[in-house]
Chains A and B, each alone.
Chain A
Amino acid sequence: MIETFRFALRGLAANKLRSGLTTLGIMIGVGAVIVLVAVGTGASAAVANSISALGTNLLTVSAQGGRDAGKPLTVADARALVDPLGAPDVATATPVVTSGNVSVTQSDTTASVRQFIGAEPAYLEATNSTIASGSSFTSTDLAEARKVVVLGATTASNLFSTQDAVGGQVLVNGLPFTVVGVLEAKGGTGFGDPDDMAVAPLSTVQNMLTGYGGLSQILVTARSADVMAQAQAEITTILSNRHGIANPARADFRVSNPTQVLAARSEATETFTVLLAAVAAISLLVGGIGITNIMLVTVTERIREIGVRKALGAPSGAILGQFLTEATLLGLLGGGLGVAAGLAASGLQISGITPVVSWPSVALAFGVSALVGLVFGGYPAHRAARLRPIEALRHD
């Protein structure tokens, strides 16, 4: 048994380059399976995460610049949507203005904030955001258009690093704002950091940044996730009336359900994961063919040696064992290195996606690599072991 192992090791060592390349092939196959599946799983997890971050009963109404440039969305539109009679399934409606990539300065540090949002205090609840420290702005802040701001987790750490941001001063487009609160992080989604944002009172933002044109959005929450369709219909009816729209196809607004959009996206990610896994499986298969090929060459090249061993009284089992051990060692070695490399690579961010290692895929890839060695190495070994000694000795 120990001897079989020693013969196998000696066999592998006899042709280090070839053994090394075969190991490399398997290693790449196994590593690819682990990394690609982890990336796919990571992407799916990110999408699922952003769905729950948004809340499942959220609808957004946005202006749609129609051909005849319809009416803009107004605060009055938002108020009209909260109507227990006309829209029994709508819980809240919050007007929102958004300004992208606003530069914000804190003493020497300047950061570009991805989304600078003007809204009412209800915005935070509607978007499932929680305050990590400090507090939200108040309706008084809103009424008096005070220059106060709540920062997203990323923005806060960009500007204040580890310092406490609450109570600090920042310059937004050169105008001083007081930070009143910092939000809890929602986590990366892979499609833009949702924590790179700031929220200030609607009136303030309209004053300073966006002016008093139309709203960017009205955020509507339905009473529950089950009545989304009804709420959507009610909103459409009310706004069509207010904007005087007869043909729904030519509406100047659009009601969308971000959860649905994300759900579609998550289906797309799943397809993407399957594709990645298929590519990886193919590379593992190619690695397996590599082992078979090498074992065939190794066995053929050493048929004379097999003949000598048989002439000295080696039973078929010992010959088979030696070559099977060689093939399995190659498979296990490549598999082990592949797992190590795959896990190491899965620790990195890959194009904005944090890979999530899927342990079944690790086990499967490793198992397959060992099995590949056993099965594909077994065939040529079996053939060699069955030869009559004299046939093997005559071979050249």
Chain B
Amino acid sequence: MTAIEITGLHKVYGTGSTRVHALRGVDMTVQKGEYVAIVGASGSGKSTLLNILGCLDAPSEGSYRLDGIEVSTFTESELSLLRNRKIGFVFQSFNLIPRTTALSNVELPLVYAGMARKHRRERARAALDLVGIGHRADHTPTQLSGGEQQRVAIARALVTAPTLVLADEPTGNLDSRNSADVLAVFDRLNTAGRTIVMITHEADVAAHAHRTVRVHDGRIVAGVLA
């Protein structure tokens, strides 16, 4: 089963003299249950690609099929539904909502999914336990270490049981011990059947994945096939 299928993807930022051709015809396929690492030099277009995969940004050209459905023509409200149900995104800078407890942060996607409060709480607690941070449920982001914040962010990404978990340098801001914890969580998620696409700069992080895709100058130069 194919989770992601993109063909002829282009992304152009800006116009005139500030015009940047960030993606120049990317083709890529990811099967369900796969664990893919994206590597490449800084500025090569990795984040641009991942943001499009996560429906946070729209491609300038090309086709993107998620679970067999063409999403490049979706409207904004269809996309928000898609982001909510099918995609979990983990950022390098955690991006937790400030002054809001870990539990409420993890609950948030379920709020937008319209789930009842009681049910929501149970799911959020279970997700926090899964990433081993259940004992910090009532802490706000400023009361958590970087590694703990990132694990809360991962719990938030997986609480809706999405088809696809995307992570943009999730260990980029963490020391090696916290990185190991976070990577262990991703390994477990993948073992449980989640599809994972992760950007990284470190070879040992990429080694956790089944397959490594190399991006160079807006094109995929290695690891295209599954």
Contacts and interface: CB of A to CB of B under 8 A. Distances in A.
Interface in A279-338: 304-305, 307-316, 318
Contacts of A316: 76-77, 80
A94 to B, nearest CB: 79
A315 B112 contact: yes
Nearest to A386: B76
A311 B112 contact: no
Contacts of A313: 80-85, 109, 112-113, 160
A305 B76 CA distance: 18
Contacts of A307: 95
A145 interface: no
B97 interface: yes
Contact of A14 (B56, B85, B99): B99
B117 to A, nearest CB: 8
A85 B111 CA distance: 94
A393 interface: yes
B80 A314 contact: yes
A10 B112 contact: no
A311 B108 contact: no
Interface string B79-96: 011111100010100011
B95 A318 contact: no
A305 B98 contact: yes
Q: How large is the interface on B (under 10, 10 to 19, 20 to 34, 35 or more residues)?
A: 20 to 34
Interface residues of A, number: 20
Contacts of B51: 390
Contacts of A308: 95-97
B84 A312 contact: yes
Contact of B100 (A10, A310, A318, A389): A10
A144 interface: no
Interface in A3-30: 3, 10, 14
A311 B98 contact: no
A315 B80 contact: yes
Contacts of B109: 312-313
Contacts of B138: none
A305 B80 contact: no
Contacts of A79: none
B3 interface: no
Nearest to A318: B112
B111 A3 contact: yes
A312 B56 contact: no
Nearest to A3: B111
Contacts of B91: 393
B57 interface: yes
B58 interface: yes
Contacts of B113: 313
- Counting chain B CB atoms within 10 Å of each CB, the highest count among A304, A305, A315 belongs to A315
A312 B156 contact: yes
Nearest to B113: A313
Given A312-B112, A316-B80, 19 more contacts: A10-B99, A14-B98, A304-B95, A308-B95, A309-B108, A311-B54, A311-B56, A312-B83, A312-B89, A313-B83, A313-B112, A313-B160, A314-B80, A314-B112, A315-B112, A316-B76, A389-B56, A389-B83, A393-B56
26 contacts: A10-B100, A14-B98, A304-B95, A305-B98, A308-B95, A308-B97, A309-B108, A309-B112, A310-B80, A311-B54, A311-B56, A311-B89, A311-B95, A312-B108, A313-B81, A313-B160, A314-B84, A314-B112, A315-B80, A316-B76, A316-B77, A316-B80, A388-B56, A388-B58, A389-B57, A393-B56
**9 closest Cβ contacts across the A-B interface?**
A313-B84, A390-B57, A390-B56, A313-B83, A389-B56, A312-B109, A315-B80, A308-B95, A313-B112
